[in-house]
Amino acid sequence: MASNFVPASDLDILESPEEILSTLTRDGKRRWLYPTPEKGRFWHQRRILGWALIALFVALPIVRINGKPAVFLDVVQREFTFFGFTFYPTDTFLLLLFGIAALTSIALLTALLGRVWCGWGCPQTVYLEFVFRPIERLIEGKEHVRKRRNEGPWSFDKAWRKALKWGVYAVFSIAVAHVFVSYIVGWESLLDWMTGSPFEHWGFFVLMAGTSALALFDFGFFREQMCTIVCPYARFQSVLLDEDSMIVSYDPNRGEPRSKRSKKTIEQEEAGLMPSKGDCIDCFACVRTCPTGIDIRDGLQMECIACTQCIDACDTIMDRIGKPRGLIRYTSEHALEDQPTRIARPRTVLYSVLLLAVTVMFTVALTTRGAYDVEVGRVTGMPFTELPDGQIANRVRFRVQNQTTQPTAFSVEVIAPEGASLRVGGRQPIQVAPRDLGRVEAFVVVPRTAFSNAAQQEAQFRVVFEDGHEETLTFPLLGPSR
């Protein structure tokens, strides 16, 4: 096994004692990182989970539930399908509850387990660590070899490896982009467009090329900067975490005073032949493996994505020098101060209660959602028209969302005020396909006397479906003031 000890001179970060970003050199240039994978127990667990998540990502737009993809974000038709339930723009309340539940879940997860999502579930981490970096290692070699080659002059060896790597990256980026786009356009449309000429589907071709280029840029070049510069989640970390949150942390009580020394020296310390030092032997294995280039021993930092690589690296070192594992471990700030870690605390209780309440409301609203969603609105333009016979006409529009899997038909009639009539544009009943939206415009004509007391008069409409279902709607009609 290769030694995990690295000379300090190999680490650019050590050459720069000033406080600078881990991914920048002192003159502001990008400091290219060469994190050494440490294939410990957490790495193996993360890899299994990562590949399971990739399989899920590919499967969700293909697997069908109730005749629709498991997840389908149909922006063109403005339909959003999740596991057999389809939401429409008219489902404002449901979408609002869904949004609140998602945000509350993130807040609760972070308060309890820190940035566990970043290290274990985020596609950025999963694809970079378990697809793109392994390809790079396979083609260009281990970290020190890559670093030496990258910093050296161009040669045939360097050129063919780079060309091959970027070619393979491009293939994987195109694959990732196709799966991503299938969430928006649907798998069938995607297959159809893929097998057709780009000239027939220019929009799709441009969308796919752009998405592939972004994936290639991100995984091939931008990498950890997405987490440390772009992603807003890291910025919220400081307000979402507290002293009881689980974080990946170095234990300074155990590790300090750190000192670079061999196993033999440690054995002499343990035998009482030399003064004892902390368990950290200052080997920098934890820094060298970090994908964001930070030193976990400096404390909790915004750049830490909780990937656990430093835990694996340090555990390997501890095994080698005969010390117990866990100098770097999952812990809380309170635990590091020998105080109990509390799971139930005001913020976690509040988030849990809110999440439970919103989940119950969402479930009730979803399961009691009617088969049809009906609304009436005013057509923009003149608020009302005075007809030659003196009657007052308001122009309205009815929208009927058929939320069932069966076709239906509906008719609209006016039931108040007295003497009102409805002049519908087109023939009734109006047909609506399964899970489709039906629209119809109409003039509501009422006698002028309806407005003798006020310039506004409430109308009532009845929408009758072919299965006998009825909905009653009210709507304010406008007329001349006295």
Rounded Cα–Cα distance for residues 335 and 387 (Å): 79
The alpha carbon of residue 295 and the mean position of all alpha carbons in its chain are separated, in whole angstroms, by: 27
Residue number with CB closer to ligand SF4 (216 or 317) = 317
Rounded Cα–Cα distance for residues 198 and 206 (Å): 9
Phi-psi region of 462 (alpha: psi -120 to 50; beta: other; left: phi over 0): beta
* Under rule CB under 6 A, residue 304 binds ligand SF4: yes
Q: Contacting ligand SF4 (CB under 6 A), which of 212, 237, 245, 292?
A: 292
Which one-letter amino acid corresponds to residue 94? L
For ligand SF4, the binding residues in 256-285 under the rule CB under 6 A are: 280-285
Q: Which stretch binds ligand SF4 (CB under 6 A): 58-66, 268-276, 311-319, 435-443?
A: 311-319
Q: Contacting ligand SF4 (CB under 6 A), which of 122, 131, 306, 374?
A: 306
Q: Contacting ligand SF4 (CB under 6 A), which of 215, 240, 241, 328?
A: 328
Q: How many Cα atoms occupy the beta-carbon half-sphere of 229 within 13 Å?
A: 11
* Under rule CB under 6 A, residue 314 binds ligand SF4: yes
Residue number with CB closer to ligand SF4 (157 or 319) = 319
For residue 409, the tally of other CB atoms under 10 A from its CB is 16
Q: Contacting ligand SF4 (CB under 6 A), which of 307, 392, 396, 414?
A: 307
Name the minimum Å distance from CB 311 to ligand SF4: 7
Q: Which stretch binds ligand SF4 (CB under 6 A): 190-198, 247-255, 337-345, 464-472?
A: 247-255
Q: Contacting ligand SF4 (CB under 6 A), which of 131, 310, 392, 440?
A: 310
Residue number with CB closer to ligand SF4 (290 or 446) = 290
* Under rule CB under 6 A, residue 208 binds ligand SF4: no
Cis peptide before 429 (omega within 30 of 0): yes
| Rounded alpha-carbon distances, angstroms, from residue 440 to 72, 373, 374 | 27, 14, 11
Q: Are 250 and 327 in contact (CB under 8 A)?
A: yes
* Under rule CB under 6 A, residue 296 binds ligand SF4: yes
* Under rule CB under 6 A, residue 131 binds ligand SF4: no
Q: What is the DSSP letter of 28?
A: S
> Going by DSSP bridges, is the β-strand pair 328-331/456-465 parallel, antiparallel, or unpaired?
unpaired
Residue labelled with tokens 């969302």: 401
Residue 402 dihedral angles phi and psi, to the nearest 5°? -85, 110
Q: What residues line the site for ligand SF4 (CB under 6 A)?
A: 248, 250, 255, 280-286, 289-292, 294, 296-297, 304-310, 313-314, 317, 327-328
